[in-house]
Structure 1
């Protein structure tokens, strides 16, 4: 029975897998209700993702920023904070990288690393603002990060408009080739898909996440403060400093997502009316991934594949792209309400246990 309980607990790997299956089944029911064939739709989705090297490369490109924003949210969660400011941190990282990539003339071995590091640090500092307000003033980080998202959006638009804008365009000048993160020969191998070094940066960031939180003294302090700040303070830890540090590191991950998107994919920045959405999707990725680095990577693979593959559903099966958001929302719902998943699983395993006992 202990094994049975462990199988259906919240932390079991089986729970998110069943949640994904239930989300896909619910999406199929929605498609049936709308008069669409779910088998054709899901087949078209898989075909879009794996149909040819170009589409597979573009799927990887879609996955990359989701890994980084997912890590951003997961890191904050693991340290007792709720960072939903990934959108703003993404924008600030992107804008900083754009400024350096456009305005500076440097050798490639200095230019690209400088743009990456500067964008990541500014994203981290943007997150640290919310951390400071929570540590020193007790302001809830949910409120401040939401407000900072909008400030970052309008500040980024101002910078592009005033300093980077091409005449007669709604976008900046292109970044210098020396600041590019594009991965030339791999991109050619994948049918000229927009492959870039940011994918490897994202995987390296997941490794840093794990090592920092579970293999270092600093990571132990961050987790301890997140679990119980009063006990951590009693043990001599500087709670306020760790809160600021946690939001700073969390912001670095989200800032990196913006950096790799502008230097690796678009090579310019546009004046936009809304944030790109990767920061909010990162919340769902972190939730589905159980706030672990490996889980975040796998969840980003799922979300990125569903997002990019939705175009195949639209063209091949005539299913509106919005249906894929229903599927993603269903997956999030079933993961968040893990009690429903356990309610489904428990009778199955209880019956098997009874049969084994007999």
Structure 2
């Protein structure tokens, strides 16, 4: 039989062998898709970016502000006298009610804008921009305090002792500011450093107790708030300490001009050097958290202290360092009040609720430095514009506080915001299907 007519036996060496016929390839990995299913193409770049936007925390913060403003508009309409009068004959002339609602809400928010950003009714640009400078002035201690609370959040600690840390820092800075005679520039610097050290030590005390004894920082900082308040109140009523000489009022003397923060835009504006310090603090906290090894250890402890401990990080030391820096930042807020805003003498109410407002600012800013910076300016605008709303439109100032509280409420409930705006749930976003890997073994 010729070679052309001879049937071939097993595969020749020069022929490609199939996996089932080659003993050397007894086990191979092949990818396969389920029967009856088509391969899904990868999502486009724009689709991926859109998914990141609609499922991100930044959008939740923005929509929380929008929802709070909407609820605030409803409250403004309900409390307006013209709306109440026109609602009596709503079914006869509904247009009057809608016009009254529009006038009340738009008038209130226009007054808020003119009191916080720019007043178009002023004759010159220099006068019209003054509301923005007021907003930045109000925002200065809020930014500093929010940075302190936010940094503690990143380490897994809840620092609600901002009031006590501000009071101690303000007392130390104020005592140096009115009790010593130092050259210009040096006096302000020494008072600033003294205030920062006072706030840092008061905050570091809570961190030390947590590190050494395991005491919960929430309980400790709450108690330290009371200790600081009554301590400062006692010093303000004691001659020779913080009380002004010859006065029976619990108030300090005026700060000396050599220690007061200088004006940034001239005496006609209230914006002072403290805002520059707040910007510098924002950059510093950003660098610590994003570019330094200390920030890496902070974030590792905040994510999982047990894993950080296994990785060789000294977790108790991180708690102490974090509270020292957090207290110094909140101390900067207190120093800004004493040396920048209230320079004629202060009382035990110098904190003005900023220690607790800082928690709101940190939550709105998602504990990120630049997010806190933006949130501080927003809340500064609410404070500056709220008085304008009350003066121009007769809107109760409490509505601004309600709007701020609603912002926190909506931020604390992201599923509610996603449901209202029909945003996708990040935990249920579709993923690209993974090919099924099978293993073929030669049948013996």
**TM-score, normalised with respect to structure 2:** 0.74
Q: CA deviation at 1:251?
A: 0.5
Q: Distance in 2 between matches of 1:305 and 1:239?
A: 38
Which 5+ residue runs of structure 1 have no aligned equivalent? 350-358
Aligned to 1:81: 157
Distance 1:134-1:38 versus aligned 2 partners, 3 A rule: same
Q: Distance in 1 between matches of 2:424 and 2:217?
A: 41
Distance 1:273-1:4 versus aligned 2 partners, 3 A rule: closer
Q: Distance in 2 between matches of 1:338 and 1:271?
A: 39
Report the secondary structure of 2:346's partner residue: coil
Q: CA deviation at 1:15?
A: 1.5
Aligned to 1:352: none
Aligned to 1:46: 113
Match status 1:14 vs 2:81: no
Distance 1:9-1:187 versus aligned 2 partners, 3 A rule: same
Q: Distance in 1 between matches of 2:423 and 2:348?
A: 50
Aligned to 1:27: 72
Q: CA deviation at 1:220?
A: 0.8
Please say which of residues 294-303 and 32-41 is displaced more in the overlay. Answer: 32-41
Match status 1:243 vs 2:322: no
Q: Distance in 1 between matches of 2:210 and 2:321?
A: 12
Number of matched pairs = 346
Match status 1:136 vs 2:212: yes
What's the CA shift string for 1:83-114, capped at 9, x where partnerless? 11111111111111001111111112221111
What's the CA shift string for 1:233-267, capped at 9, x where partnerless? 11111111110110110001000110111011111
Distance 1:187-1:156 versus aligned 2 partners, 3 A rule: farther
What's the CA shift string for 1:301-320, capped at 9, x where partnerless? 11110111111111111111
Which 5+ residue runs of structure 2 have no aligned equivalent? 1-46, 82-103, 120-127, 426-444
Residue 182 of structure 1 contacts residue 265 of structure 1 at CA under 8 Å; is this kept in 2?
no
Select 2:389's aligned residue among 294, 313, 321. 313
Q: Distance in 1 between matches of 2:266 and 2:214?
A: 48
What's the CA shift string for 1:193-224, capped at 9, x where partnerless? 22211000000000000101110111111111
Aligned to 1:225: 301
Q: Where do 1:158-307 residues align within 5 Å?
A: 158-162=234-238, 163-166=241-244, 167-168=246-247, 169-183=249-263, 186-188=265-267, 192-272=268-348, 275-307=351-383
Q: Distance in 2 between matches of 1:273 and 1:6?
A: 44
Q: Distance in 1 between matches of 2:376 and 2:213?
A: 34
Residue 186 of structure 1 contacts residue 195 of structure 1 at CA under 8 Å; is this kept in 2?
yes
Q: Distance in 2 between matches of 1:219 and 1:275?
A: 28
Select 1:68's aligned residue among 134, 137, 144. 144
Please say which of residues 252-261 and 265-274 is displaced more in the overlay. Answer: 265-274
Aligned to 1:355: none
Q: Distance in 2 between matches of 1:234 and 1:312?
A: 55
Residue 160 of structure 1 contacts residue 269 of structure 1 at CA under 8 Å; is this kept in 2?
no
Q: CA deviation at 1:348?
A: 8.8
**TM-score, normalised with respect to structure 1:** 0.91
Aligned to 2:99: none
Q: CA deviation at 1:155?
A: 1.4
Q: Where do 1:117-156 residues align within 5 Å?
A: 117-156=193-232
Please say which of residues 274-283 and 203-212 is displaced more in the overlay. Answer: 274-283
Q: Distance in 2 between matches of 1:281 and 1:130?
A: 20
Report the secondary structure of 1:178's partner residue: coil
Report the secondary structure of 1:108's partner residue: coil
Report the secondary structure of 1:308's partner residue: helix
What's the CA shift string for 1:36-77, capped at 9, x where partnerless? 611111111111122234333222111100000110110000
